[in-house]
Structure 1
Amino acid sequence: MNEDASHWINRYMDVYLVVTRRINAQIRDSIAADITNDQYLILRLINGQELCTSTYLAESFAVGKSSITAIINRLVEAGMVERTRDENDRRQVYLSMTENGRSVYEEAEKQIQEVISPYLFDFEKKDIENFIMMFEKLGRLMQESGGKSN
């Protein structure tokens, strides 16, 4: 590995630790009464999929299905998510939000917007767009390679 790459990786890791720990803590504090960060992220993914499955969630989180099942079970018990079997293939189970789940999700979404938006005011719109585009590209590269470098 060349010296530049090592320097960039160290800088990335330093800022990654600060940003993710602080944002996650602030999000956790703002939505703590209703759901956990992981539960919020699960609801967010379910909201974005017409036919959401545990397999899709496990792949998105890069964890085993048993980890997702535990979170889904808690969301089902809390009345936020429901399971529906496919009429044509009874082995296929789809996950969807209940009205209660949608309400909790939408409130958490508002609270997260309030946590993150103040940080954006220190940047110009073009800088925010560039940052998001580069971060999305990094995400795509990671998904395409299965999370492993080439």
Structure 2
Amino acid sequence: MNDKAKQWIDRYVDVYLLVTRRINAQIREHLGEDLTHDQFQVVRLINSIDHCTSSHLAETLAVGKSSITAIVNRLVDAGIIDRTRDEADRRLVYLSLTEYGNSIFESAQEQVREIISPYLQHFEEKDIEMFIVDVREAGAVDV
């Protein structure tokens, strides 16, 4: 790897860490009353996946099943998500948003979009799209 590539990587990591800390702090500040950052990630995934399970959440978020269970329990207790057993295989438990959970999610999602959109305004659409495609193809995240 040449020196220029090393410099780009170092600059990228520096900017990534700075922006991620800022965005996460803003998200925590705005979501604090309704959802934690981790809870928002879980609710966001549940919203986007039919027949979502705790195992799928743990795998997607790369955390232990016990961590997911604790988050799911809090979200169930708060009335944000429901658990439903599969009719054919009672061992399978699906997670879904309640009506209240959906309204919390929609509000939180809008707040997150408002926080992140100013950062994206500095880039052209093709650059944003190319970055997202490159990250997806690298297998780093499922976007």
The normalised TM-score by structure 1 is 0.86
Q: How does 1:71-86 map to 2 (within 5 A)?
A: 71-86=71-86
Counterpart residue number, 2:124: 124
Segment drifting more, 27-36 vs 127-136: 127-136
Segment drifting more, 103-112 vs 18-27: 18-27
Alpha-carbon distance in 2 for matches of 1:41, 1:88: 29
Change (3 A) 1:129 1:35: same
Structure 2 letter corresponding to 1:108: A
**SS of residue in 1 equivalent to 2:95:** strand
Alpha-carbon distance in 1 for matches of 2:10, 2:122: 24
Alpha-carbon distance in 2 for matches of 1:19, 1:47: 26
1:104, CA displacement in angstroms? 0.2
Counterpart residue number, 2:56: 56
Counterpart residue number, 1:115: 115
1:8, CA displacement in angstroms? 4.1
Alpha-carbon distance in 2 for matches of 1:88, 1:5: 53
**SS of residue in 2 equivalent to 1:107:** helix
Alpha-carbon distance in 2 for matches of 1:106, 1:130: 27
Alpha-carbon distance in 2 for matches of 1:125, 1:12: 19
The normalised TM-score by structure 2 is 0.90
Q: How does 1:32-111 map to 2 (within 5 A)?
A: 32-111=32-111
Alpha-carbon distance in 2 for matches of 1:12, 1:120: 16
Structure 1 letter corresponding to 2:90: R
Change (3 A) 1:108 1:16: same
**SS of residue in 2 equivalent to 1:89:** coil
| Number of aligned residues | 142
RMSD: 1.8
Gaps of 5+ in 2: none
1:80, CA displacement in angstroms? 0.3
Query: Are 1:22 and 2:22 matched, yes or no?
Result: yes
Listed one character per residue, the Cα deviations across residues 15-45 of structure 1 (whole Å, up to 9, x for unaligned) are 2211111111111111111101111110110
Gaps of 5+ in 1: 144-150
**SS of residue in 2 equivalent to 1:122:** coil
